Amino acid sequence: MIQRLFEKCLLRPQDLFPSREELEVVGVFNPGVIDSGGEVVIMARVSEQTRERRSGQVALPRWDIEGGGIVVDWVGEDEIRPIDPRVVEMRETGQTRLTFTSHIRLLRSRDGRILDSFEGLRFDPDNRYEEFGVEDPRITRIGQTYYITYVAVSRHGAATALASTTDFETFERHGVIFPPENKDVVLFPEKIGGEYVALHRPNPRTHFSSPEIWLARTPDFVHWGKHEVLHGGSSLWDSGRIGAGCPPIRVPEGWLEIYHGNRRVPGGVGPYAAGALLLDPENPGVILRRSPEPLLVPEADFEREGFVRDVVFPTGIVERGETLLIYYGAADTAVGVVELARDEILGSL
């Protein structure tokens, strides 16, 4: 493990007003974070459930894309099979539904350690691919534009879509860039070998392997190809579920990628932890070094207890000279920030 130079629970559900009176915020987590000219912008996923409870029934909220608001499908408890606190399966069709819906909230901080305001612009679902919510944004600045990858969830599956902005006030949507199921997409901040590069995490139905981190390339952010496996099949702390975390940053030795992983254990997986990959500066499809053990594991109460226990899920990064501020979802409930020394990370790989 590595020394936490600074650590804090930055944001909890009770810090935020719900988007509507009839909802309650149950999670604010997995934030996209970027240093935007002296100010840190945080795009946090906000999960909401209905405030109302009905005996013998379960509320399945979704966005009414035509109407523009949230509607709730109330179904009998006997019509569903609970999978985990977030997910149910409809008994008749076998289809998955979520017990919450997510939007993205924009918050700002001057120093990245204290929030200046708890209210901010919303980035809401607005098309058929976002009916069950928008989740887990990651932000990369490329030139003068900020690109935001995010998970678009709907009856068509969990895909990754792209949006861009220059001011974090208006956003342009570029549609689905990785079809279902694909999450944990992060963009590199510059062209490498003549093309822009992303890490992505396809999740196939047929279980030939545990999920793996893949790499893809694009000339234009819209069309993606040259898919190759980057990392998977580990026998270490990340032998279970893995995925890219923070957008990669350039360090003298190559590209530093902070990612999440957990260990495969009998009957499931262990706690979600964070580790690092050092990728070849010229060809990020090549791993030069990687964490033999995690950099961060769930330790604090807010990392251990919540909607999903024992989760540290890194999604945002801000460079501060010799140190890095790493932002992460904690227990699918809160946002944490931790400060680590860059050289200590690199030395641990």
Among 56, 67, 143, 207, binds its own copies (CB under 8 A): 207
Contact status: 320 vs its own copies (CB under 8 A): no
Helix (H, G, I), strand (E, B) or coil at 347: helix
286: its two tokens: 């090549």
Among 102, 154, 262, 333, binds its own copies (CB under 8 A): 154
Among 14, 53, 205, 322, binds its own copies (CB under 8 A): 205
Going residue by residue from 163 to 182, which x/- string records binding to its own copies, judged by CB under 8 A?
------------xxxxxxxx
Contact status: 323 vs its own copies (CB under 8 A): no
Task: Give how many residues touch its own copies by CB under 8 A.
Answer: 51
Among 153, 297, 325, 330, binds its own copies (CB under 8 A): 153
Least Å from the CB of residue 112 to its own copies: 33
Contact status: 242 vs its own copies (CB under 8 A): no
Least Å from the CB of residue 96 to its own copies: 5
Helix (H, G, I), strand (E, B) or coil at 206: coil
What are the DSSP calls for 279-348, one per residue?
A: E-SS-TTSEEEE-SS-SB---SHHHHSSSSSSBEEEEEEEEETTEEEEEEEETTTEEEEEEEEHHHHHHH
Alpha carbon 37 to chain centroid, angstroms: 23
Contact status: 78 vs its own copies (CB under 8 A): no
Alpha carbon 64 to chain centroid, angstroms: 24
> How many Å apart are CA 120 and CA 105, to the nearest integer?
6
What are the DSSP calls for 326-342, one per residue?
A: EEEEETTTEEEEEEEEH
Contact 10, 115 (CB under 8 A): yes
Nearer to its own copies, 9 or 87 (CB): 87
Query: In 18-79, where does DSSP find H-type helix?
Result: none
Q: CA dist 171 to 65, 103, 249, 329, Å? A: 18, 14, 24, 24
**Among candidates 11, 1, 45, 3, which has minimal Cα distance to 274?**
1
Least Å from the CB of residue 233 to its own copies: 7
DSSP β-bridge partners for residue 247: none
The piece of 106-114, 137-145, 149-157, 269-277 that touches its own copies (CB under 8 A) is: 149-157
Contact status: 237 vs its own copies (CB under 8 A): no
Going residue by residue from 110 to 129, which x/- string records binding to its own copies, judged by CB under 8 A?
------------------x-
Q: Which residues bind its own copies (CB under 8 A)?
A: 87, 89, 93-97, 128, 132, 153-159, 175-182, 200, 202-209, 212, 214, 216-220, 222-229, 232-233, 264
